[in-house]
Amino acid sequence: MPAYKAPLRDMRFVFHELHQADTLLAGLPGYEELSADLIDAVLEQAGTICEEVLAPLNRQGDEHGCLFENGVVRTPPGFKQAYDLFRQNGWTGFACAPEDGGQGLPKAVNSLVEEMICSANLSFGMYPGLSHGAYLTIRRWGREDLKKTYLPRLAEGAWSGTMCLTEPQCGTDLGLVRTRAVPQDDGSFRITGTKIFISAGEHDLTDNIIHLVLARLPGAPKGIKGISLFLVPKFQVGDDGSVGAGNGVSCGAIEHKMGIKASSTCVINFDDARGWMLGEPNKGMRAMFTMMNGARLEVGIQGLGIAEAAYQGAVTYARERLQGRSLSGAKHPDKAADPIIVHPEVRRNLLTIRAGVEGCRALGAWVGLQLDVSHHHPDPQTRQNADDLVALLTPVVKAMFTDFGFEAANLGVQVFGGHGYIREHGMEQLVRDARITQIYEGTNGVQALDLVGRKMGAHAGRYLRQFFHPLAAMIEARIEDETLGPYAQPLAKAFVRLQQATAQIARAGMVKPDEAGAAASDYLRLFGLVALGYMWLRMVETALPKAGGAEDGDGFYSAKLNTARFFFDRMLPQTAGLFQAIMAGGASLMTFDETWF
C-alpha cells in the first residue's frame, strides 16, 4: 500500500471555490477572523500528522490489535505516543469552544480533517471522534457544574468519552434497555447494568473515560419514553477535577472483530456506579440524539476516508503493475507489458471510486457548512432552514457514504487482483475496516427507514423543500445552457424520478407501511445519487471557466470535468433501475411465506 497523501488540492477546491465556505463562515458570529489562509494552514498541518504519524501505524495496529488483560485494555504499540502528540498539537479540541480550551473552528473544516484521519487510520480516529461527541452532548444537556468539570478536560484530550447504548438484548430497539439508575439524596444516581459493543470503552490513552449511559429510572414508563441519559466517569472526579478511585465501571471483555482492530470494542459493566443525569428524566433519547446524529455524520465521513485511501492505493498499483497490452495496441512498447491502467475495466473501477469520492467530499462539506449555519447564523429562519437540511441529509450521508466506502474498498481489491486479497498491500484491511461503518450508529437499513419514515414527511414535507427547491432552481436555470445543459439534463431526469418515487412511497406507505419499508433502501440510494449529481453540476459550473486555462497547469479542472462526465454517463443512470424497483412495490418481499426462507 503506498504512503497516504492528504488530498489537499481537492479539499481546497471544495471549500474555497465550490462552497466559498471561508467567506460564508466569516460572516457568522464567532468566525469573523476566519480566513482562507488560516484554513489552508490547518488542513496542511492535519495532513502532515495524518501522513507522518497516523498512517504508518495503521497496518501494525490492525495486526497487533488491542490487548485485554486483567480488566485493562492496552492499545497497539505506538498508539499512546501518537495520541499524546495528537493531543499536544490541539487536535482533540480543534472544534471545541474557546471557553472550554478549544480552538473553536467550524464543523465544515472539521469534516475535512476527520476525513484525513479516517483515511490514515480509522481505528485511531475512533478515540477522539467519540470524545468529541460526548463533549457536544454534555455541552448541550449538562448542568453548569458538569460542564465546568468535564468539558475542558475532554477538549484538552486528557479525558475521553463514549456512548453506551447497546445491551445484549437490545440494539436498534433501545426501548428494551434494562440498565437501572437509582436516584440518591445528593442528586446523583447509582447506575447498574451491562453495555456491549462500546467503542473506546476501555483503553490506555487517557486518564479518565467519561461514559454517556442510557438507563431506566425506577417506575419509568415502558419503552423508549422511559429512558434517561447519565454521565458516568470511569474514575470518580473530585470537586477540583482531580481523578480519584474507581467508580464501579469495569471492562468485562473486548470483542475480536473483523476490522478496526486497534479500536477497543468493549463489554462495559456498571456496578452501582455514580452518575449524573443529562437533560430531563425519561427524555434521554432526545439528549442522546445530539451525540448519535453527530456520530452518523462522522461515520459517513469514515466511509469517505476509506474510499479515498482505496483510490490512492489502487491508482498507484494500476500505474505500476504491468499486465498484457492495451486493446487498441501497445501504449508502452518499450516495456514488457502495459500498465493495467490502460485497460477499460481498470479505468471503470478507478473512475467509479474517484467520482464517488469527489462527489461525497463536496456533499459532506456542504452538510458540515449547513450545520455551522444552523448553530451560528443570527437569523432564526436561516438557522431553521439549515437545521432542516442537515436533518434530511444525515441518513443519506451516513448510509450513502458508508455503502460507497465499502464498494470502493472492494473495487480497490479488484484492481489489485490477487495481490489485493493478501495482507501485504493493505487493501484487504480497508474492506474489513469499512464493513462496520454500514452497521454501527444505526445500520444503513435503519437510516433508510429514518429517511422515509421520519424525514420525508416531516412537517408536511418541510425538510424535503430545503433540498428540492434549490436543486429545481439550479436545474431550471442551467438546463438550456450550451455548456451546462448536457450535465443538467440527465440530472433533471433523475430528479423527476426522485420526486415521483417520493410521491409513490408517501401514497403507498399511508395504506401499507410495509410498502415504504420495502422501498426505503432503494429510495435512499436514489436520493443519494441525485444529491451527488447536484454537487457535480455545481462543480462543473465552478471548474468550467478555469479548465484548459492558465490556472489549469496541472490539469486539475480538466480532470474535474472529465470525472463529472463519467458520473453523469455511468453512475447517475443507476437511478432508473432504482426507480423501477421502487415502483414495483413490496409484494414480492412481503408475500413470501416465512416458512419458505
DSSP collapsed to 3 states, 374-389: HHHCCCHHHHHHHHHH
Rounded-to-integer distance, Cα 264 and Cα 257, Å? 10
Mean pLDDT score, 337-341: 97
Rounded-to-integer distance, Cα 342 and Cα 415, Å? 12
Phi, psi of 578 (to 5 degrees): -65, -40
239 or 62, which is more confident:
62
Q: Among 1-5, 147-151, 390-394, whose mean pLDDT is lowest?
A: 1-5
The single-letter DSSP state of residue 452 is I
For residue 292, what pLDDT is reported? 84
The pTM assigned to this predicted structure is 0.97
Banded model confidence at residue 290, pLDDT cuts 50, 70, 90: confident
Q: Residues 105-143: pLDDT tens digits?
A: 999 999 999 999 999 999 999 999 999 999 999 999 999
Give the chain's largest Cα–Cα span. 84
Banded model confidence at residue 268, pLDDT cuts 50, 70, 90: very high
**On the CB side of 351, how many CA atoms lie within 13 Å of its CA?**
21
Q: Residues 381-396: pLDDT tens digits?
A: 999 999 999 999 999 9
What one-character-per-residue DSSP string does 7-32 give? -HHHHHIIIIIIS-HHHHHHTSTT-T
For residue 1, what pLDDT is reported? 67
Distances (CA, A) of 127 to 49, 64, 200, 408, 523: 16, 17, 6, 24, 33
Reply yes or no on whether 551 is catalytic. no
The region, left, alpha or beta by phi > 0 then psi within -120 to 50, assigned to residue 77 is beta
Query: Over pLDDT 90: what percentage of the chain?
Result: 95
- Give the three cell numbers for residue 370: 449547513
Rounded-to-integer distance, Cα 95 and Cα 102, Å? 7
Distances (CA, A) of 266 to 193, 226, 229, 282, 559: 14, 25, 19, 26, 45
Phi, psi of 480 (to 5 degrees): -95, 0
Q: Residues 56-115: pLDDT tens digits?
A: 999 999 999 999 998 899 999 999 999 999 999 999 999 999 999 999 999 999 999 999
* Torsion angle of C-alpha atoms 105, 108, 110, 116, degrees rounded to 10: -150
Q: Would you call 170 helix, strand, or coil by DSSP?
A: strand
Residue 323 in contact with residue 342, Cβ under 8 Å?
A: no
Mean pLDDT score, 561-583: 98
Query: Over pLDDT 70: what percentage of the chain?
Result: 100
Rounded-to-integer distance, Cα 516 and Cα 507, Å? 9
Rounded-to-integer distance, Cα 197 and Cα 93, Å? 26
Residue 249 in contact with residue 273, Cβ under 8 Å?
A: yes
Residue 175 in contact with residue 110, Cβ under 8 Å?
A: no
Mean pLDDT score, 439-465: 95
Question: Quick one: angle between helices 380-416 and 427-435, nearest 10?
Answer: 140
One-letter amino acid of 289: F
Which ranges of 512-573 would DSSP assign to H, the alpha helix? 513-543, 556-566
Residue 361 in contact with residue 404, Cβ under 8 Å?
A: no
- Give the three cell numbers for residue 578: 432504482
Q: Nearest to residue 538, comparing CAs of 555, 566, 505, 560?
A: 560
Mean pLDDT score, 509-527: 95
Contacts 24+ apart (CB under 8 A), 541-550: 541/478, 541/484, 542/13, 542/17, 542/18, 544/483, 544/484
- Give the three cell numbers for residue 522: 432503494
Mean pLDDT score, 485-502: 98
30 or 2, which is more confident:
30
Phi, psi of 261 (to 5 degrees): -70, -20
Question: How many other β-carbons are positioned within 10 Å of the β-carbon of residue 369?
Answer: 23
Banded model confidence at residue 4, pLDDT cuts 50, 70, 90: very high
Hey, which residues does 277 pair with through a beta bridge? 230
Mean pLDDT score, 308-334: 96
Question: How many other β-carbons are positioned within 10 Å of the β-carbon of residue 278?
Answer: 24
For residue 33, what pLDDT is reported? 87
Banded model confidence at residue 480, pLDDT cuts 50, 70, 90: very high
- Give the three cell numbers for residue 583: 415502483
Tell me the average pLDDT of the chain. 96
Catalytic residue among 428, 441, 515, 541: 441
Residue pointed to by grid coordinates 488530498: 7
Q: With a cut of 90, say whether residue 175 has pLDDT above it.
A: no
Rounded-to-integer distance, Cα 195 and Cα 203, Å? 16
Q: What is the β-pairing status of strands 67-69 and 72-74?
A: antiparallel
Q: Nearest to residue 366, comparing CAs of 6, 26, 14, 3?
A: 14
264 or 291, which is more confident:
264
H or E stretch at 318: helix 284-320
